[in-house]
Structure 1
Amino acid sequence: MVVIGLVMAARFTGSLQRLELLALDSFLQLRPAEAKDDRIVLVSIDEADMRKTGYPIRDRDLLDLLNTLQTYKPAVIGLHILQNQIAETNKTALFAALKQPERLIVAEKILPASDQIPPPGGFSAAQVGLIDIVPDGDNHLRRLLLGVYNPIDTSKYRFSLTIRLVETYLVSQNQSFALKNGTRDPEAMRFGATELPRLLPNSGAYIGADTNGPQMLLNFRSGHRPFRVLSLSDIKTGRFNPIWLRDRIVIVGITDPKIRPIIPTAANDSTNSLDLQAHAVSQIISAVLDGRSLFNTWDDGWEYLWIMGWGLTAIVLGRSTHTPRNKLIGIGMAQVGLIGISYWLLAGGWWIPVIPASLVWLLNGIGCAAFYKYDWVLRSRLKENQRVIEERQGMIEQTFDVIHNGPLQTLASLLRQIRDGKLSQEQLLLALENLNREIRGIGEHLKQETLSQEDSLYLRDGLKVDLKLPMHELFFEVYSNTLERSDFPRFETLKIACYFEPIEQRFLSVEHKRSLCRFLEEALCNVGKHAEGSTHLNVTGTQAKDWYSLEVKDNGIGIRSSADGEGTKHARNLAARLGGRFQREPSSPKGTLCKLTFPLIKPWFR
């Protein structure tokens, strides 16, 4: 999200404008060549012609050229030559001898106000068009000025030479193509049903662009020779087909680079001003008559939503479980797809932000893939460490249970008998030898279990029980082995009732089964140690619906202390792991109840 925010902020401040404009230039240059637009003919006064006629151009030479062109009956002639580029003789009115002045549109320059060049006299406002250009910060021309108020006299609105030529030609084709205001955008221009999209300060990649007067993006006609070009010498000598000029738009201009510098454009780094005018006229006429696309842009909200969408998609890809190689392939394919979509939309007339979308896609795609890979490795290591810790903790608890329910119980019984003076020295030595043997047996069992990874339960005197046995059989083995312990003589005088129902145990793990057996063993040992005055013992395991209850109940004098020992803490932890409950409480009318109830349904197990 930080990457998305930074890229969007960079675009909002205009930091990505140059890159986006260069991407637009590249897309325009990659387009396939279009057919030549033969509705437009350029009459180029090139460097060779200028050497013959001199500069400024003599008005007599220019009049002869225009009168000659009019004999071929073009629809309109556009003179892309400013007044200061024409040398008047004898101070006569310029173009006074022009045979058909109504077919001519002349040029003027009005920007900036301090450098205005007015049009030649004798022409109406409808026959004058400005030829000012609005280059971008890198001096490339990508937009066309369609009209503007005269900065000296703001009551006078001036249309561009392009608009004047287009209007004159389209009206000659169909009267319904007269110039009008737009319907979707009242400040835009419209010919028939074709509205010219108006460039706004923040349209496309532009951020705070100067759009004084309606402007539009230039959709240059692709191809090496998009227009027919005749030289001044060709016109004078008649080396052309007269059909080429009839009912056409003829634009006359100087192409000598020493007089008319080359203008870098989005389509070509060496476009002259005459070609530029032809591209502008062709763009509008082709849109009106042929349905050729004009460039549109999305609203800012949709553009930033587009950028954010690619960034979020990259995050999703980064979080995926694909291998790094597959992720990189996916990132590369999607990047190609993004460029392809942007190019396809531009061909259809929509300029969308490809550079910001590519940045958030690549940065988030590669960055998030690397980040989440590192995160996955780190989490895997943490999980492995946690697994090792849990295994060690389980081993510690298992070892504690074996020692607690075996040697420690024996030792506690010995200490009690010593305090009561019930043991002779010989009996004590024998008991200690048995205790030593029992401890060594436990150590040997734990060593073998670690090496063999066997699933068994260690009981006294080296007895091991396979934990794969049914649960009720394991309970009975624990019960039988515990009641045979010689260190609890109280068991010999008890009347015992024992019954274990079979358990639906498919959701019980080996560790669950081991812990349940240790619980039963601990509960029975507690009876042997603490149930003074007890004469009866009930040991049962019963199942009711999806719950199983393991219960040890005696009728001794009852619980003397409310403090939880280690065995009680282990029992409570076991109940929590199983999603069940543990009870250790006085029994009515006397005695102690130790009961563990747990569910046999998978979702309860943790």
Structure 2
Amino acid sequence: MNARFWTQIGQHIRVWRVGLLPGLLVIGLVAGARMTGSLQRLEWTAFDRALRSRPLEAPDSRVVIVGINEEDIRSVGKYPIPDRELATLLKAIQSYQPAVMGLDLFRDITTDPDRAELAQLLRASPNLIGIEADVSSVATLKVKPPPELPPTQVGLADIILDPDGKLRRCLLASKVDSGTVKYSLPLLLAAGYLKTKGIALQHGTRASDPIRLGTTTLPRFRAYTGGYVRAKAGGNQLLINFRSHPAPFPVVSMMDVLQGRVKPELMRDRIVLVGVTASHSLNDTIMTDALKGSLLSEATGSTDEYQLLYGIENHAHAISQLISAVLDQRPLLHTWAEGWEYAWILLWGLLGTALGLLLQSPWKTLLGLAIGSMCLVAIAYGGILLSWWLPVVPSLLALSAAGLTTALFDRDSRLLLEQRSLTLKRTYDAVHNGPLQTLAAMLRSVDDLPAETVRSQLQNLNQELRSVYESMQQAVVTGDQHYAQTPIDALLYQVYEDTLKRDLPGFSSIHTFIPPDFTLLKHCTLSTDQKQALCLFLQEALCNVGNHAVAASCLDVICCQEKNCYTLQVIDNGKELAAFDRAASDSPREGRGTAQARELARSLRGRFQRHPHTPHGVVCELIWRSSRSWRLSHLFESMQYLRKRL
């Protein structure tokens, strides 16, 4: 038994070794596709959709947007907003005593005749941060800051978009052409607000150095962060963890402030951003798929899958995530190291390969892969809820593609092995039920036969051995069509007649052949393999009578149905068959015929038995349960058949 066990283990290892190769190849192809950036946009889309589908968060009232909308522009009468009106707006906001103010408007041109009032206000507002654009290598895209503000009160307003034109990251610090390191507007406003809470900004001398706000280290975006491949990661960038809410920040208009319609507590000790929220007058919008709503979508009633953000909204989200990470322990977005991400992809690919090898049924494999995919998506979504971006797209591809490919290759390998095994089995059965039965009959009577008779029987044996090849070749050409297309009762009649024509010694003494009636089996549903096995069972039972029954005078083959069970019996009255049967039962190894009968019984969920027949002979019996419902017509036919015999 140990030898058989280890043999089976070795066979499984060989099958798995063959099945693993295509699975590993597919995993390698998926990993290669990710390395080349072919899956980058799919990963971005999955990342955006996961962020978009998060549960709602509470709005952040610490960041207030003062938006200059279409109505405000019409009230003023021109755009850009003149310096005098802008100065009046900033004075009104300062009267509410905000912690810090961000002016998201370019004010580098000083030719306005009313510039003096705005200039004086800018110089006298240490909590006000202006903007400039100084990161682009294109000179025409650079915009200088208001000259009245010192460099420490100027932040970069540059926006970083991905190749698909969507927003997923923000700039924190960058080294500009002059060689100095400059900070972004969101970082300066967040640092100014946190300073009022006793929390300081810490940074090295290089833009790429880690940035800390108190004890919170901001994770730096790199070229291979998450699903990115060879991204432009200059300076110090951060993935934006958008606040999940259709209206994440309080928004008031310019006229609301100027006309005193704003409650003082809305802006007191807050971060106030002043910028443009005019949907038609200006083209200051950014596209993202990671939000459920925006000011522009609300204003236009847009229901598009993607959302358009105003530039000031982008800054508000970046500021909110920074101060929330420090004050509320709201996690920033994190990713694994690149090596761990590929290990994760490999793990899911191996799981798909294992499912393809273990679940040998195509439907079971598909179901297993579907369940595995749902588990993977659920884990990835759980990671997003915990602010971890896991590689879900390549993992899904590795899982499903490796599983399906392995299942197909494994199925072909197993079919080939099964076909080889079946060919060997059928070849042996053909030899066993043909030439070996003839040889057994010759051995029983070789001493009593004349040489001429022995020569004749040897010639017959030679012909039977040669016919085995021909029959197996014909089986390869035609397959199992003969068994599939011919009714089982006709097949059994043919086996019965052909077997009794064989020159076996036990048949020579039989004078009474009770003809069988196999018509009852027309109602029995059998597979092609079961039909063939049932024919072999009848042939083997008849050959046993012909080879081992001594002085048998009667042979009876009974086929009937009782209590929703089919019964097939081969009965003789020979004197020596029982002794042969006992010897066979005492043998440590059962014969091939007995093994065939037991395999057939297991296949039919029935039982096989060979027992003595009174007063002489043996009954070879196969009983199996009908797969169809019990019918009175079947019982009636059985009773008629038994009545004829009695």
Q: Which residue of 2 aligns with 1:215?
A: 237
| Map of 1:89 onto structure 2 | 113
Q: In structure 2, how many angstroms separate the alpha carbons of the residues matched to 1:216 and 1:448?
A: 76
How far does the alpha carbon of each residue in 1:368-412 deviate from its partner, in whole angstroms, 9 at most, with x for none?
445544554554444333321121132345235326535666668
TM-score normalised per structure 1: 0.69
Aligned to 1:361: 399
1:488-527 matches, cutoff 5 A: 505=586, 507-511=588-592
Please say if 1:191 is aligned against 2:213. yes
Q: Which amino acid aligns with 1:214?
A: N
Deviation at 1:242, TM superposition (A): 0.7
Alignment of 1:142 with 2:180, yes or no, is no
Check if 1:69 corresponds to 2:107.
Answer: no
Alignment of 1:62-461 (within 5 A): 62-84=86-108, 88-89=112-113, 92=116, 95-98=119-122, 100-113=124-137, 114=139, 115-151=141-177, 153-154=178-179, 156-174=180-198, 176-180=199-203, 187-257=209-279, 258-268=281-291, 269-321=307-359, 323-373=361-411, 375-396=413-434, 398-399=436-437, 401-402=439-440, 405=443, 440-442=503-505, 444=507, 450=539, 452=541, 455=544, 458=547
Matched residue SS, 2:126:
helix
Q: CA-to-partner distance for each residue in 1:266-302, whole Å, 9 max, x for gaps?
A: 4242111011000000011101111111111111111
**C-alpha distance in 1, partners of 2:417/2:448?**
45
Matched letter for residue 425 of structure 2? R
Contact 1:110 1:116 in 2 (8 A): yes
| 8 Å Cα contact 2:65/2:251 also seen in 1 | yes
CA distance 1:513–1:59, shift in 2 (3 Å)? closer
Inter-partner Cα distance in structure 2 for 1:138 and 1:344: 26
Normalization by structure 2: what TM-score? 0.65
Name 1:582's counterpart in structure 2: none
Residue 112 of structure 1: how far off its partner (Å):
1.6
Q: Which moved more, 1:460-469 or 1:192-201?
A: 460-469
Contact 1:467/1:513 (CA < 8 Å) preserved in 2?
A: no
Distance 2:191 2:439 in 1: 99
Q: What is the CA distance between 1:63 and its match in structure 2?
A: 1.1
Change (3 A) 1:6 1:252: same
User: Which residue identity lines up with residue 265 of structure 2 in the other structure?
Assistant: I
User: Following TM superposition, by how much is the alpha carbon of 1:82 offset from its aligned partner in structure 2, in angstroms?
Assistant: 1.2
Question: Identity percentage over the alignment?
Answer: 33
Aligned residue identity for 1:358: L
Contact 1:66 1:98 in 2 (8 A): no
Moved more, 120-129 or 343-352: 120-129
Aligned residues of 2:441 and 2:504 also touching (Cα < 8 A): no
In the alignment, which of 67, 80, 104 is matched to residue 44 of structure 1?
Answer: 67
CA RMSD of aligned residues (A): 3.3
Name the CA shift for 1:107/1:406 in 2 (closer, same or farther; >3 Å): same
CA shift in 2, pair 1:409/1:198, >3 Å: farther
Change (3 A) 1:86 1:5: farther
SS class of match (1:263): strand
- Give the whole-Å Cα distance in 2 for the aligned partners of 1:388 and 1:513: 15
Indicate if the aligned counterparts of 1:144 and 1:216 stay in contact, CA closer than 8 A.
yes
Residue 252 of structure 1 aligns to a residue in which SS? strand
Query: What is the rounded CA distance, in whole Å, between the counterparts of 1:118 and 1:512 in structure 2?
Result: 97
The one-letter code sitting in structure 2 at the alignment partner of 1:458 is N
CA contact (8 A) 2:67 2:276 kept: yes
Give, in whole Å, the separation in 1 of the partners of 2:86 and 2:450.
127
Check 1:232–1:388 CA distance in 2 against 1; reply closer, same or farther (3 A cut).
same
Distance change >3 Å, CA 406–CA 132, structure 1 → 2: same
* Cα 1:26–1:97 shift into 2, 3 Å: closer
Q: How many residues in Structure 1 have an aligned counterpart in Structure 2?
A: 459
Deviation at 1:259, TM superposition (A): 2.3
Contact 2:549 2:575 in 1 (8 A): no
Q: Measure, in 2, the Cα distance between the counterparts of 1:234 and 1:466.
A: 115
Distance 1:92 1:253, change over 3 A: same
Q: Give distance in 1, aligned partners of 2:195 and 2:189.
A: 10
Cα distance in 1 for residues equivalent to 2:252 and 2:156: 24
**Which runs of structure 2 are paired with 1:2-17 in the superposition (5 Å)?**
2-17=25-40
| 8 Å CA contact 1:76, 1:248 repeated in 2 | yes
CA contact (8 A) 1:134 1:145 kept: yes
CA contact (8 A) 1:83 1:120 kept: yes
Residue identity matched to 1:3: V
Amino acid at match of 2:589: L
Equivalent residues of 1:20, 1:205 under 8 A apart: yes
Q: Distance in 1 between matches of 2:110 and 2:65?
A: 19
Secondary structure of 2:217's counterpart equals: strand
After superposition, what is the alpha-carbon deviation per residue over 1:214-265, rounded to whole angstroms, capped at 9, x for unaligned?
1111100011100000100100111121100000000101122432422002
- In structure 2, stretches of 5+ residues that fail to align are 1-23, 292-306, 455-500, 511-535, 553-573, 596-646
CA pair 442-453 structure 1, distance change in 2 beyond 3 A: closer
- The amino acid of 1:273's aligned partner reads G
Q: Aligned partners of 1:47, 1:465: CA distance in 2, in Å?
A: 113
Whole-angstrom distance in 2 between the partners of 1:466 and 1:167: 105
- For 2:547, the aligned partner's letter is Y
* Mapped partners of 1:469, 1:260: distance in 2: 103
Distance 1:393 1:107 in 2: 94
* Aligned CA distance change for structure 1 residues 87 and 352 (closer, same or farther; 3 Å): farther
Q: Secondary structure at the match of 1:83?
A: coil
CA offsets per residue over residues 24-75 of structure 1, 9 Å max, x none? Answer: 1111111111101000100001122122331122111111111111111100
Corresponding position of 2:528 = none
SS in 1 for 2:97: coil
How far apart are 1:512 and its partner, in Å? Answer: 10
Output one character per residue of 1:503-530: Cα deviation in whole Å (capped at 9) or x when no partner: x94632124999xxxxxxxxxxxxxxxx
The structure with the largest alpha-carbon Rg is: 1
Residues 399 and 165 (structure 1 numbering): CA distance in 2 closer, same or farther, change over 3 Å?
Answer: same
Shift of residue 124 of structure 1?
Answer: 2.2
1:327 to 1:397, Cα distance in 2 relative to 1, 3 A = same
CA distance in 2, matches of 1:270, 1:341: 29
Q: Contact 2:336/2:390 (CA < 8 Å) preserved in 1?
A: yes
For 2:189, the aligned partner's letter is L
Q: Does the aligned pair in 1 maintain the 2:537–2:593 contact within 8 Å? A: no
Q: CA deviation at 1:166?
A: 0.8
Deviations 1:425-451 (A, max 9, x none): xxxxxxxxxxxxx99444948999726
Q: Which amino acid aligns with 2:267?
A: L
Secondary structure (helix, strand or coil) at the match of 1:303 reads helix
